[in-house]
C-alpha cells in the first residue's frame, strides 16, 4: 500500500492507496506552517488526484503540481492506464 505525507512550500499532501482508490487530504498553510484550509479527497487514479485536487488548489501552478505528482510516483502511486 502506497502512502505519502509531504510538504512543498505552502502545500501539504497526505494520501494513501486504499485498494482501488486514493484517499487523503491536500492543505494550504500560512508562512508559519499553520493550516489555512484543507480539502479531503477520494479519487480512483493518480491523475484524478493531480487534475481534480492538486492543480486547482494550487491555482494552476504547473511546477508544484508536477513536482507533487513526481513525489507520489516515487512513493509508489501508479496510473493504471
More confident residue, 78 or 67: 67
Write the CA distances from 1 to 16, 51, 62, integer angstroms.
7, 22, 27
Asked whether residue 7 carries a pLDDT value surpassing 90, the answer given is yes
Q: What are the sequence ranges of the domains in the chain?
A: 3-74
- Of all residues in the chain, the percent with pLDDT exceeding 90 is 85
pTM of the model: 0.91
Asked whether residue 68 carries a pLDDT value surpassing 90, the answer given is yes
Average pLDDT, integer, range 21-40:
94
Q: Which of 72, 77, 67 is nearest to 9 (CA)?
A: 67
Average pLDDT, integer, range 57-74:
96
C-alpha cell at 75: 512513493
Name the average pLDDT for the chain: 94
Amino acid at each position: 500500500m502506497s502512502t505519502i505525507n509531504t510538504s512543498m512550500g505552502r502545500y501539504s499532501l497526505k494520501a494513501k492507496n486504499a485498494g482501488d482508490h486514493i484517499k487523503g487530504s491536500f492543505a494550504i498553510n500560512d508562512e508559519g506552517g499553520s493550516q489555512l484550509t484543507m480539502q479531503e479527497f477520494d479519487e480512483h487514479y493518480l491523475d484524478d488526484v493531480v487534475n481534480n485536487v492538486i492543480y486547482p488548489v494550487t491555482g494552476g501552478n504547473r511546477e508544484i503540481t508536477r513536482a507533487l505528482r513526481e513525489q507520489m510516483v516515487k512513493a509508489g502511486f501508479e496510473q493504471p492506464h
